[in-house]
Amino acid sequence: MVHTWPNALILGAQKVPSLGLSTRAHVMVLLVCFLGAAFLLRLLRRRQLRGKYTLLWILTGLVVLVIASFPSAVDHVAHTLNIYNPPNALFLLAIAFLLLVCIYFSYELSRLEERTRLLAEELAILRGEQHVTAQPSAGEAN
């Protein structure tokens, strides 16, 4: 039973966290973080994910891990930001972070689309020129 486990099992927790995470929740979070990190590293090993994105998500995972391990950190942050309910501070920061990541991805996507388009245009021009140069030489064939 969760409630009979000694407090020490709750990683680094000195007091009952106000985020109210149970031990089972902690274990779940830890598990998800490690599995996620393993998955990302596997993608990196197979060169299916660029290093910078692997780093981004692994660092994100670390932050989640820290928060899960020391929920009191969130309390301090909430207190500093004058937010009454600590979980709200967590949501605020998480949403802000994800929003920034999304904007960054939109930027990257626009850049990629632009590059793809430029390549297509170059290819089309080359194809056109190839036919033009191919026609006279076919006529003048010796």
Partner 1 sequence: MAVPLRTVSSSDAGSEARASAARALAIIPAWNEEAALPGTLAELHEVRPDLDVLVVSDGSTDRTAEIGRAAGAVVAELPFNLGIGGALQTGFKYAVRHGYDRAVQFDADGQHDPREIATLFRALDAGADMVVGTRFGDGGTVEYRVGPMRRGAMSLLRFMMNTMTHSDFSDTSSGFRAFDRPVLEMFSNTYPVEFMDSTESLLHVCNAGLRAIEVPTVIRERQAGTPSTRHFRLVFHYTRVLVTMLSQWTFRRPADAGS
Among 52, 131, 137, 139, binds partner 1 (CB under 8 A): 131
Q: Which of 38, 81, 103, 125 binds partner 1 (CB under 8 A)?
A: 125
**Smallest separation (angstroms) from partner 1 to the CB of 107:** 15
Least Å from the CB of residue 133 to partner 1: 11
Mapping DSSP to helix (H, G, I), strand (E, B) and coil, where does residue 70 land?
A: coil
Pair 74, 6: CB distance under 8 Å: no
Q: Would you count residue 132 as binding partner 1 (CB under 8 A)?
A: yes
Residue numbers 31-50 binding partner 1 by CB under 8 A: none
CB 21 within 8 A of CB 87: no
Rounded distance between C-alpha atoms, residue 104 and residue 110, angstroms: 10
Spatial neighbors of 72 by CB under 8 A, at least 6 apart, are: 13, 14, 15, 17, 18
Q: Tell me which of 121, 137, 138, 140 binds partner 1, using CB under 8 A.
A: 121
Asked if 115 touches partner 1 (CB under 8 A), the answer is no
Instruction: Say if CB 70 and CB 12 are below 8 A apart.
Output: yes
**Footprint on this chain of partner 1 (rule: CB under 8 A):** 117, 120-121, 123-125, 127-129, 131-132
